[in-house]
A and B are shown apart, each in its own frame.
Chain A
Amino acid sequence: MDFPPDEVRFAAMLAESGMRVPPEQLPSPLEGYCHMLRLIAALGAPATFEAEPALTFTPDRR
C-alpha cells in the first residue's frame, strides 16, 4: 500500500484481517495508518544481504 486509503477502503483492509470496525471508529486509526506508511517508507530500500535477520536475538549478533 503506497498511498493512504479512504475510510471505506481502510475498513475493508481491517476486515480482511478479521477486524470489524464501526465507521465512527475509523478516522483515528486511519490517521495512525498514514503515519505508519511514512515510517515504513523511512526504512527505505531493502537492506544489505549481510543484514538478513539472524536466528539469534543476542544483541551483539542479531
Chain B
Amino acid sequence: MDPVPTIAEAARGIASRRLSPVELTRACLDRIARIDPSLHSFLLVSEERALADARAAEARIMRDGPRGPLDGIPIAHKDLFDTAGIRTTGHSRLLADNVPARDAAVVARLAEAGTVLLGKVAAHEFAMGGHSFDLPWPQPNNPWDLERTTAGSSSGTAAAVAAGLVLGGTGTETAGSINGPAALCGITGLKPTYGRVSRTGILPLAFTLDHAGPMAWTAEDCAILLQAMAGHDTSDPASSCEPVPDFGVDLDRGVRGLRVEVVRHFFEADNPASEATRMGIEDALAWFAREGAEVREVRLSPLETYSACTFVVLLAEAYAIHEPWLTTRREEYGEIFRDRASLGGLIRARDYVQALRRRRELCLEMAGAMANLHLLVNASQAGEAPPSTGLSKWSFFERPALTTPSALTGFPSVSVCTGFGAGALPVAMQLIARPFHEATLLRAAHGYKRAHPWRDKRPPMAR
C-alpha cells in the first residue's frame, strides 16, 4: 500500500475490484505494527475484528457490489466512542476496564456503511486532559516530528490518519479538539454544525458544546465519512432534524461566486499566529480571489470573549459530569484533567448563566456577520506543533483559543492544511460556514486541495 490511498481512491479501487478490502486491511495492520510503536496513536488494535469486517465486506462486495464508498474501508474511532464488546476508556485509568454493551450511534452508522474497525485511538483524557504523561497509555507523537505534540483532544485520530495507519476516523470537538489536531498533523478535520451528528454513546465533556465529526486526509474523504455519520437521532436531545444533503454533490464546483471574509484580528492581534500560518492564510485568500470568490475583511468581538465564554461553560458542564469521581476517585485521574476539571466546581451559578447569555449574543453576532456570506476565514492554531514537553497546563487560559468562535456558536468549521512552516511542520487555516452548510466548507476545502498538489505530501515516516 504505497502510496497510502485516500478513502475516495480506495473506494474506487474496491468498486472496480482492483483493491481487496482484506488486502487493504492487512496493509493497514502491517503499517500499524511497523510505525505505531513510535507514534502511539492506537490504544487498542482490534485485529481479529478488522479482518472479520474486511472478509465480510469482501464477500458482500463480490456478491452484491459495495454498499457505498465506505464499504471495506479501514477506520478507527477515538476512544470516547462506545464500541460494543471492545474496551472504551476515554484514555483514562477510571475506565480502563470499561467494555460497552452497545455501539455509539455514529459507530453503528459507520459499521452499517461497511467500514472495517481497526481499533480505538488515543485522546486527551476525557477530551480535556492535555498532553499528559501520567496516564496508563502514552499520548501520540506528531508524525511530522516525534518530539512534537499533535494537540488534542482527537490526537490519536489525527496522528494515525497523517501517518497513513488508517484512512479516516472519528473525532470530537468541544473547544477545538478536531480542528486543533487536524491543523498540527496536516490533515482535514471537520467539526459539523452542533446537532448534525449524534453524540449518543460518546463520553460527554460539556453537553451544550460537544460535537462529533470526521477526520481524514482530504475534504473529499471527510464528505464521505460525514455522509454516513450525519442524521437525526432521537436519543440525542440536541440532535437536529435538519435534512442531510449530499455532501459530495458540490465538491467540484470550485469557489467562484463565494463571499469570503477573513477575521484577521483573531490571528494577527488577539492570538498572534506564526509567520507561516499568516502567510498560508494570505496565500489562500489570494487563491480564493483568483478563483472568483469575493474576499473582504470583517471584525467580530475580541477572540478573548469567545474563548472566555467557551471555557466557563465547558468547565462548569464538565464538572457537573465528573463531580462524582472528582470527589471520590480523584487520584485516578491524570493531573492535568483533575486540576482543570476541579475549577468547574468553583464557578458560581450566575457566572455560568452569564456565559450562556453571552453565548447567545455571540451566536447572534456570528449569524449577523454571516447573513450574506458563505465563509469566514480564521487560523486553526496559532502556529506549528510545539514540543510535547513543557506545555502549559493553562495554555487555553493564557492565550484565547482560535477554535472557540466555531465551537461555542455551533457553526460548522473545517481545518485545511495551507503549507509547512518552521521545521517543515504543517500550518492550517480554519473555514467557518453558516449552520448546516458543511457542503460549502467541503466544496472550498476540496477546491483548495486540488489546486495545491503539495497537499499530497505525507510525513516522512508515512512514506
Contact = CB atoms under 8 A, between A and B. Distances in A.
Nearest to B350: A46
A18 interface: yes
A38 B311 CA distance: 12
Interface string A30-53: 011101101110111011101111
Interface in A11-41: 13-14, 17-21, 25, 28-29, 31-33, 35-36, 38-40
B408 to A, nearest CB: 10
Given A53-B357, A57-B208, A36 B345 contact: no
Closest 10 CB pairs of A and B: A59-B410, A35-B397, A47-B357, A17-B345, A39-B308, A18-B327, A53-B356, A51-B360, A51-B357, A42-B308
B107 interface: no
6 contacts: A32-B397, A36-B311, A43-B308, A53-B353, A58-B435, A62-B363
Contacts of B448: none
Contact of A59 (B194, B305, B348): B194
B393 A32 contact: yes
Contacts of B309: 43
Given A35-B397, A39-B397, A47 B323 contact: no
B315 A62 contact: no
Nearest to B319: A17
Q: Chain A interface mostly helix, strand, loop or mixed?
A: loop
Interface string B308-327: 11011001000000010011
Interface of A: 1, 13-14, 17-21, 25, 28-29, 31-33, 35-36, 38-40, 42-44, 46-48, 50-54, 57-60, 62
Nearest to A47: B357
Contacts of B398: 35
B157 interface: no
Interface stretch (B2-10, B86-94, B132-140, B336-344): B336-344
A44 B409 CA distance: 18
A14 B335 CA distance: 16
Contacts, number: 123
B351 A19 contact: no
A29 B451 CA distance: 47
Contact of A14 (B193, B195, B238, B345): B345
Given A17-B345, A18-B323, 10 more contacts: A1-B348, A14-B346, A19-B326, A25-B339, A32-B340, A36-B346, A43-B354, A44-B358, A60-B367, A62-B360
Nearest to A61: B363
B354 A47 contact: yes
B304 interface: yes
Contacts of A20: 330
B353 A40 contact: no
A21 B357 contact: no
Which of B311, B330, B357 counts the most chain A CB atoms within 10 A? B357
B346 A39 contact: no
A42 to B, nearest CB: 4
Contacts of B304: 42
B88 to A, nearest CB: 25
A57 B410 contact: yes
A35 B359 CA distance: 20
Nearest to A60: B435
Contacts of B305: 42-43
A35 B195 CA distance: 31
Contact of B312 (A21, A31, A40, A47): A40
Contacts of A38: 397
A40 B310 CA distance: 11
B191 to A, nearest CB: 12
